[in-house]
Amino acid sequence: MKRFISLFLVAGLFSTLFFGCSGDDGAAGPAGPSGTPQPIKVLVLGADTEANLKSVVAGAYAYGGFPLGTELGFIDIRTVVPEEATLLAYDVTVVYTDYNITDKPGFGDMLADYIDDGGRLVLLQYCFYTNVAPAGRIMTAGYSPFQPAAGASIAGNRYISYSSLSFPLHPIFNGTNVKDLEFWSNGNISSPVLDPTATLIALDDKGANAIAINADGNIIALQLAGAAVAWNIAEYPYAGILIANACLFLAGAF
């Protein structure tokens, strides 16, 4: 089997990785509604450096959580609010904010418009930390499952609390060990408030809201490390799979 990665850069702003294989022994992705593997298109919107964003999409491939044929692109949102049409060209969008976003209200309003027009969204850690969280309509009732809060000043990695799981067999846990699902954390990680219209799926071992989905089933909040850290398979063998599964679930791949 041969695997290949092609990297395309456009004006230093927007990049895409395409994951594929040749030969007849390629890995089978998760079965979709038709019973066949369903590669998807994922756009990562990261308030992060270009080097880290490239590492994110390369790490996502190395993790093996996505079916072969999946396409991942990225945009640095520190300096630009992308057009909604750009997001709608993908099956699902992932947002993380290691740094500040340009025009927080404008970005949040764009995300809400995207959801209103059929988009699917995964929000990661720091989207719920007041210092760098998106603002605007995406953080109003019915949209983001979690509302931002101040950092909890609790150091050290965290785990998903197995005893708190309301849906232990939810598809987002496929291929993970939910009794040993560790993720990176530091003192800036908040204890976000659950939107009253959302469904809580899990707490972490510190008692903070960790995973939830909104009432319309098109936004998943994962209070996990930003993708640059989560897709470190050597240290966190399940966090990246959880992110990939959230994308696949929202996109209808299984």
Instruction: Output the pTM of the full model.
Output: 0.86
For 132-184, how does the pLDDT look when each residue is reduced to its tens digit (9 = 90+)?
A: 999 999 999 999 999 999 999 988 889 999 999 988 889 999 989 999 998 88
Burial of 153 (0-12, 13-18, 19+ CB in 10 A): exposed
* Residue 31 dihedral angles phi and psi, to the nearest 5°: -70, 130
**Predicted pLDDT at 76:** 96
Q: What letter would DSSP give residue 53?
A: H
Q: What is the mean pLDDT of the chain?
A: 84
Distance in angstroms (rounded) separating the CA atoms of residues 235 and 219: 27
Distances in Å between the Cα of 24 and the Cα atoms of 3, 14, 21, 28, 253 are 12, 32, 9, 11, 21
Cα(first)–Cα(last) distance of the chain, in Å? Answer: 25
Q: Rounded to the nearest 10 degrees, what angle do helices 50-63 and 239-251 cross at?
A: 80
Give the domain ranges of the chain.
Answer: 2-251
Candidates 239, 193, 201, 241; CA nearest to 220 is 201
Mean pLDDT for 104-108 is 98
**Predicted pLDDT at 167:** 87
Mean pLDDT for 198-220 is 96
For 16-50, how does the pLDDT look when each residue is reduced to its tens digit (9 = 90+)?
A: 554 443 333 333 444 555 555 589 999 999 999 99
**Predicted pLDDT at 201:** 96
**Predicted pLDDT at 37:** 52
Q: Compute how many other C-beta atoms are within 10 angstroms of the C-beta atom of residue 156.
A: 11
Which segment, 5-19, 52-66, 129-143, is predicted with the most confidence on average? 129-143
Mean pLDDT check: name the lowest of 115-129, 193-207, 218-232: 218-232
Which residue has 């057009």 as its token pair?
Answer: 83
For residue 224, the number of C-alpha atoms closer than 13 Å in the C-beta half-sphere is 31
Mean pLDDT for 66-92 is 95
Which superfamily does CATH assign the domain made up of 2-251 to? Class I glutamine amidotransferase (GATase) domain (3.40.50.880)
* Residue 62 dihedral angles phi and psi, to the nearest 5°: -60, -30
